[in-house]
Amino acid sequence: MSILQARPTSLSPNMSRSGKVDVRTALQRAQQSESDTLDPATEATLTEELDRIWTRIQAQPTSYTMNQTEFGVFNRYRAQSRFQNETARRAVERYWNSRSAINDHQ
């Protein structure tokens, strides 16, 4: 039996062996949710990614530009008090400026 055949069939293609949901899938679930309550795996994936994004922003507070997925995650939690500051505001501004530059060149 090959390694590919040995893969458990119960795993979703969007889940790892640890049961974690990938970031894009988690973000899609959050965007499609009719309530603010998410399943624990989705919430964990998004909050872990949020912490990574915030670490990147803080490491490069004047230059880090989020990609579309990162912005989607960050935007979901942007109302949290820890993001009510100039560093977060400028990170959001850089994202929108980068999107504008992309649209201007299409």
- 102 pLDDT more than 80: no
Asked if the model's pLDDT at residue 87 lies above 50, the reply is: yes
Domain membership flag for residue 2: no
18 vs 101, residue with greater confidence: 101
- What is the pTM for the complete model shown? 0.77
| Residue 9, in any domain of the structure | no
- Please answer whether residues 94 and 102 qualify as being in contact, where contact means their C-beta atoms are separated by less than 8 angstroms: no
pLDDT tens per residue across span 12-30: 444 444 567 899 999 999 9
Establish if 89 belongs to a structural domain.
yes
Total number of domains constituting the chain: 1
Host H or E run for residue 59: helix 40-59
> Does 44 or 13 have the greater pLDDT score?
44
pLDDT for 103:
65
- Full residue range of the structural domain in which residue 77 is found: 23-31+39-104
